[in-house]
């Protein structure tokens, strides 16, 4: 646990790397009547639970950077939002998880809690928290996750089924799959595929090797049990919603205040992914519309990264010429995507992994 590091990610930005989130920036935002909002990921709430229920040291869990930062910010200038993390939690544990969050703040960041000495309205038991599974989500939420879920399932199938092919060949099969099956091509999921199909080379720097491994560990967990593998894939889908939600809520006003929305995470692979692809603002356009791929010098000089990036750009150009790149999805489109996931997506997955096949 000592390796946990708090990161603040701004998914929509003009710079290649996330800018530093500083107290002075929060103060400037407040002067401009803009609220700085931090979407907390589930890892943070789980570590808070470790502190409150199990007596662990918050410094050892990477939490003190968040605590110290919040305590230095002016009153009513920053908002911590656990809602998206709580949406991953099974209803049985949601109330307890939120109460632990409030207890943690009452101890370490009391100015953020309305009633610092209150919050515990029920007995807190150190029971293992359980995440929601896909079938337990509302139909609307399942619709929202269908593109990401289908795309990540295809990464697993292709990696297993075509293990003898090169990473570039696997990536081209991936592009064919998502474009032909669901007629969608998301740049973020395609970026994940590039890392999952990449073979670490001896000449890569340790930094790039670590980035590749972190992303693979999360999005390409090759569990021998198909059900657990599928659960792990869905966990990856859930991880992607933080950046997407931050993009959405940065464009909204809450109680008359503009929002500058960040993701606070202890998850290194979300940070590495955000350093590889991010959205950038264009006046009058949704924050999620335009994206930028960022490559290190060694990636720019590597034939693998050149090839997969060129393949993506070429495919996107074809889709743009066909009028598909920016077509909005209606309710019927979402329903069809959901049906493809439930039928072809899951069927293909179990065809590949349910028998006693090799698991790489």
Residue 300 region, left (φ>0) first, then alpha (ψ -120 to 50), else beta? alpha
What pLDDT score was predicted for residue 127?
53
Evaluate whether 92 touches 132 at the Cβ level (below 8 Å): no
d(CA 196, CA 153): 12
The answer to whether position 212 is within a domain reads yes
Q: Which residues contact 1 (CB under 8 A, 6 or more apart)?
A: 56, 60, 61, 62
How sure is the predictor about 354, in pLDDT bands with cuts at 50, 70 and 90?
confident
What pLDDT score was predicted for residue 353?
95
Q: How far is CA 197 from CA 119, 136, 156, 231, in A?
A: 47, 31, 10, 20
d(CA 60, CA 290): 38
Evaluate whether 3 touches 259 at the Cβ level (below 8 Å): no
The answer to whether position 335 is within a domain reads yes
**pLDDT average, residue stretch 249-267:** 83
**Counted domains in the chain:** 1
| Structure tokens given for 80 | 């911590």
Return the half-sphere exposure (C-beta side, CA atoms, 13 A cut-off) of residue 191.
Answer: 21
**Structural domain containing residue 185:** 138-240+283-353
What pLDDT score was predicted for residue 334?
92
How sure is the predictor about 120, in pLDDT bands with cuts at 50, 70 and 90?
very low
What pLDDT score was predicted for residue 129?
60
Number of C-beta neighbours around residue 160 at 10 A: 18
Q: What is the pLDDT of residues 86-96, one digit of tens each?
A: 988 888 888 99
What pLDDT score was predicted for residue 115?
33
d(CA 330, CA 180): 19
Averaged pLDDT score across all residues of the chain? 89
The answer to whether position 131 is within a domain reads no
Evaluate whether 35 touches 260 at the Cβ level (below 8 Å): yes
Q: How far is CA 317 from CA 188, 288, 323, in A?
A: 17, 18, 10
pTM: 0.89
| Structure tokens given for 263 | 């993701």
The answer to whether position 105 is within a domain reads no
Q: What is the pLDDT of residues 187-236, one digit of tens each?
A: 999 999 999 999 888 889 999 999 999 999 999 988 999 999 999 999 99
How sure is the predictor about 244, in pLDDT bands with cuts at 50, 70 and 90?
confident
């Amino acid at each position: 646990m000592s390796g946990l590091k708090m990161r603040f990610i701004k998914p929509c930005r003009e710079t290649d790397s996330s800018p530093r989130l500083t107290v002075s920036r929060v103060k400037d935002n407040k002067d401009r009547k803009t609220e700085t909002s931090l979407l907390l990921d589930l890892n943070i709430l789980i570590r808070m639970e470790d502190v409150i229920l199990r007596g662990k040291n918050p410094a050892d869990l990477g939490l003190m950077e968040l605590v110290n930062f919040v305590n230095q910010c002016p009153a009513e200038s920053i908002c911590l939002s656990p809602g998206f993390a709580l949406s991953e939690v099974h209803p049985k544990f949601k109330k307890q998880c939120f109460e632990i969050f409030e207890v943690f703040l009452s101890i370490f960041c009391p100015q953020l809690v309305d009633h610092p000495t209150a919050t515990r309205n029920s007995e807190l038991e150190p029971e293992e928290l359980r995440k929601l599974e896909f079938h337990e989500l509302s139909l609307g939420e399942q619709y929202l996750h269908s593109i990401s879920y289908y795309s990540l399932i295809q990464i697993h199938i292709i990696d297993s089924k075509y293990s003898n092919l090169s990473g570039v060949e696997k990536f081209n099969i991936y592009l064919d799959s998502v474009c032909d099956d669901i007629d969608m091509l998301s740049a973020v999921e395609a970026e994940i595929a590039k890392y999952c199909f990449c073979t670490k080379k001896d000449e890569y720097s340790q930094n790039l090797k670590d980035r590749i491994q972190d992303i693979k560990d999360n999005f390409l967990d090759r569990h021998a049990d198909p059900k657990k593998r599928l659960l792990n894939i869905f966990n990856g889908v859930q991880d992607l919603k933080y950046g997407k939600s931050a993009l959405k809520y940065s464009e909204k006003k809450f109680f008359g205040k503009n929002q500058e929305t960040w993701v606070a995470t202890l998850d290194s692979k979300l940070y590495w992914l955000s350093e590889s692809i991010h959205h950038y603002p264009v006046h009058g356009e949704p924050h999620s519309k335009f994206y930028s791929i960022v490559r290190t010098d060694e990636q720019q000089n590597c034939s693998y990264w050149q090839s997969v990036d060129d393949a993506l750009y070429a495919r996107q150009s074809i889709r743009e010429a066909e009028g598909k790149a920016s077509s909005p999805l209606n309710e019927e489109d979402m329903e069809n995507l959901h049906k493809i996931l439930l039928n072809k997506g899951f069927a293909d997955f179990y065809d590949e992994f349910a028998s006693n096949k090799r698991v790489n």
